[in-house]
Chain A
Amino acid sequence: MSVLSGLTSQAEITGDLKLECGVVVVGSGAGGATVAAELAEAGVDVIVLEEGGYHPTGSFTAETGRALRTLYRDGGGGMAIGRPSVLFAEGRCVGGSTVVNGGMSWRTPTRVLDRWAEQEGVLAIGEEDLDPYFARAESLLSVELQDPETIGRDSELFKAGADAKGWNIVPNRRNQLHCAGTNSCNTGCPTGAKRSMLVTSVPRALSRGARLFADCRVDRVTRSGAAVTGVAGHVVRPGGRKGPAIAVRARTVIVAGGAIQTPALLLRSGLRSASGQLGRNLSLHPNAVVTAFFDEDVTGWHGVHQAFQIREFAADGLLLTAVNLTPTMLAGILPAYGRELGALMADYNRIVTAGPLVTDTGTGRIRNVPGVGPQVFYSLADRDAARVVRGVELTAEALFAAGARRVLLPFAGAPEVRSPGELRHLLARPVPRRSLQLYSIHLMGTARMSEDPRRGVVGSFGEFHGVPGLFVTDASLFPGPIGINPMETVVALALRNAQRLVERRDI
């Protein structure tokens, strides 16, 4: 097992730690690792604290259970409480969610950037402003189209369905260096082909002198008066036991724990936003899974995790994709149990799973609940519920057009559907919103940017309004949902905000 120079894990920490640096970064995902690498390259003394452990590429296998235990927060079983509740997953390891995401890398749509500029007055956020940062992000992360030999039969069928319907479908741009198509994105890429932070910005930061402490949970941001003075936390021992205390003194604190953990940390540190938006405004791109059965052998795990996206309905806030799920994950969501589930799973290699991702208009919030920790509440808007149903219908139509014999819908209690006619008949009646089975992997918006402190938590470059030296750089920054995979936007904003920090020369 290789160990990166500059990286310290919990086993090496035997007593309380007191450290000092120029900038302390909380989190090593897309935002944290990127900003750490940029600042370290500029000669800044950087410490990164990551709550999760260090798991090198060589330790990755296709075992879902292992991945859920080691790479995800709470075993990947987060739940946003609401009607319906939405299950979500967050990465928790060195490299953050980039270690377990699908690797789709898309620039922020121009219409979204324009909205951020117009509605929130965010500065330097236009397409021309961000182009250089997107280009650099794509270079750092090797963003390319997939090599054709790695596209699996499930993706081919999905594309065939879209083509038969005459819909616009595009090949994915992914942060990958000649991806082998192992379909292991969600369990950690075993080849290192997926250019997650673990194999890009983390080693880049460490090679330039940054220090990274894994297994270190930050409990609070420390302050003196209005200004920040650093962070305080503790080492996380195996099994989640609390280890020695860790305190880092720094004039600049950058929080990059993701849209759940970032506001939770800031709130439990006693920070409040005049806007009232800290921990609110959560968007999560709700998605649902349609399961289609084909006569032919699909073996969807032979090939890349996700190869195409149907963009035909983007203007309606719908993105349709096909993603192969491991047996562990599929069994957990199929609407059956016992012998019935066994019969469905026996056809595992004839299944294509696909579904819609909705640009949501409803919002949620994060609250720290005593004895429980950060708890997420989310209210699915009626309009979004209708879009989920519409997206499910369109996905099923594409799968039938590709030759699916039967389809299971993500509505509790819904019968199996065997034709487009049956589908239309079933959906002619309203689908109860409580029956929707929803998931999320895109969490955004809980420390939103706005130049107006009455509307946003942070300014245009991520600095917390009214708290000098405190910055946020993750998807919490987004003023709203972006309708596509968020990683490249997070990286580009981190590059931009790091440059701004260096130019200010007060770190």
Chain B
Amino acid sequence: MLGALPPAARKALSTALILLDQGARVYPPSRGRRFARLDDRTADAYIRALLARRDAAAEMVQRLKGVVTMCYYDLPEVQREIGYDPAPYIAAVSRRRLETYGPQIRAGEATGGLPEPGQP
């Protein structure tokens, strides 16, 4: 997904991740450690402290969180865990559509897309 971002956005994302990681060193409870080395509780407190600022840093963390969680919840196994498995449903309702409205669909497709029969 990240590959779809334009080069400037990818660069900004990398910079934001570095800032987030290294910025933890000046967060007193981290005792000089970078974000990647923090225990869960301190890491969580660090993120909450950034979000509470409601400034550009908070917005940066908010955007980063959006990107990371989108990537995570795009994984099919994660989606199945929360009860989202659309492929079988799509197959079933697509079948129902064709069984119920087949002739009307074929007629409609002829008028809306390719030229109608008999026209030059």
Contacts and interface: CB of A to CB of B under 8 A. Distances in A.
Interface of A: 61-65, 68-69, 72, 74-77, 85, 139-142, 147, 149-150, 177-184, 190-193, 195, 199-200, 203-204, 207-208, 239-240, 299, 301-302, 326-334, 337-338, 341, 345-346, 348-349, 371-373, 412-413, 432, 434-435
A182 B69 contact: no
Contacts of B79: 327
The 8 closest A-B pairs by CB, nearest first: A75-B4, A331-B73, A62-B86, A180-B97, A178-B101, A332-B70, A331-B69, A65-B74
Interface string B70-86: 11111010110011101
19 contacts: A75-B2, A77-B4, A140-B111, A177-B108, A177-B109, A180-B93, A180-B97, A182-B90, A199-B109, A199-B113, A200-B113, A204-B114, A204-B115, A207-B115, A239-B3, A330-B73, A348-B84, A349-B82, A372-B6
A215 B45 CA distance: 46
B62 interface: yes
A81 B97 CA distance: 43
Contacts of B82: 327, 345-346, 348-349
A351 to B, nearest CB: 10
Contact of B44 (A190, A338, A346, A372): A338
B32 interface: no
A333 B66 contact: yes
A327 B62 CA distance: 17
Contacts of B70: 64-65, 328-329, 331-332
A200 B104 contact: no
Contacts of A337: 47, 65, 69
B76 to A, nearest CB: 8
A371 B93 contact: no
B114 A182 contact: no
Nearest to A371: B8
B74 to A, nearest CB: 4
Contact of A74 (B4, B86, B87, B108): B4
B51, B82, B96 pick with most chain A CB within 10 angstroms: B82
Contacts of A75: 1-2, 4-5
A76 B70 CA distance: 12
B1 A69 contact: yes
Given A181-B93, A302-B89, A373 B8 contact: yes
Interface in B22-63: 44, 47, 51-52, 54, 58-59, 62
Nearest to B89: A302
Contacts of A329: 70
Interface residues of B, number: 51
Contacts of A302: 89
A65 B1 CA distance: 6
A323 to B, nearest CB: 16
Given A177-B108, A345-B82, A69 B54 contact: no
A77 B5 CA distance: 7
B64 to A, nearest CB: 10
B67 to A, nearest CB: 7
Given A141-B112, A204-B114, A327-B78, 18 more contacts: A64-B70, A65-B1, A65-B71, A76-B4, A147-B101, A178-B97, A178-B101, A181-B93, A190-B94, A192-B109, A195-B112, A199-B112, A204-B113, A327-B84, A331-B69, A332-B69, A337-B69, A346-B82
A203 B113 contact: yes
A140 B108 CA distance: 9
A207 B4 CA distance: 32
Contacts of B90: 62, 180, 182, 184, 190
A208 B54 contact: no
B89 A182 contact: yes
Nearest to B64: A337
Given A348-B83, A412-B62, A413-B52, A208 B93 contact: no
Contact of B112 (A63, A177, A326, A435): A177
A141 B111 CA distance: 9
Nearest to A326: B84
A341 B69 contact: yes
A190 B74 CA distance: 18
B74 A139 contact: no
B6 A373 contact: yes
A200 B73 contact: no
A140 B93 contact: no
Contacts of B51: 412-413
Given A72-B4, A77-B5, A207-B114, A331 B72 contact: yes
Given A61-B87, A65-B74, A178-B104, A412 B54 contact: yes
